[in-house]
Structure 1
């Protein structure tokens, strides 16, 4: 019966990794969905799209690309922590800039009440727009926080790998452990038909 070999341990803490990527995925989808709604009606009414929307939309696309790319690489066992840190760092910078610009553009409206008195007459869609503004702001904030968490996680994994705690479990499992050497002490002459003699 062939011996059983244990699989290589992974330096990635899977629950934390997948939780962060799960949140980042749906937050990115949420930002893109809300901004698509805003951009559609702005273009329809021939109103210029605020640059804050464009920057945040691009950041959400980069976030989604990073989440999908790194998750696929991890599932294939090919995710390098330094590679992930590079992507997470770039996305964190983009999302942070977009979040800061969005917060400045909203001028304190984030903490205002979504009431008819602030956002239009009763029966209008002002309250709905207010809630969408707050939702996209909350999604942007969540994206910033989760990518900070991903960056910290990447650094932890880099240190774990650097400490040599995660080496190959069975380095000789795929190597030949016994070398075959022919035995020439037996008589294999042509007189015996090329077969070893048993006399």
Structure 2
């Protein structure tokens, strides 16, 4: 079934995720699920400017076509209220997308800039529908999150994009604290 907007064109959805360190935008056709445009940029603590930039890019990309927009992310709540754009809490947004994209999913882990989230899924015993059974979010430490990974990349003087190849060359696994980013960094520095 084709979904048409008010002007008879394909309905287009725009999602803007304003996280603790980055702003992401995705533009998608509803009927096909085709991603028409996406952008990922660090906002350097200027979330408003990054959202303005994202909206400008979307308008340029869609050149006069109409679209529906929603926002998510740790930095989006206040901005969505100011801009009168619907807001969806980030773990809820992730769970909706994951259920739509993957028919069989048990657990999903998302590492944000300053937090980590885990979502557990299960099938409803009565209906068989995939549903969220539990959601958790770290609350006391940013260890293992994007900000921590960035910090270690800086310490190693290695771009994050090269971590995977660097890890593949490893021959030894060292014990470091897995509970706290500060302790982990304290364990890593003498090993260097």
Give the alignment's TM-score, normalised by structure 2.
0.22
Name which one, 1 or 2, has greater alpha-carbon Rg: 1
| Higher strand content, 1 or 2 | 2
Answer 1 or 2: higher relative contact order, Cα 8 Å, separation at least 6.
1
| Higher helix content, 1 or 2 | 1
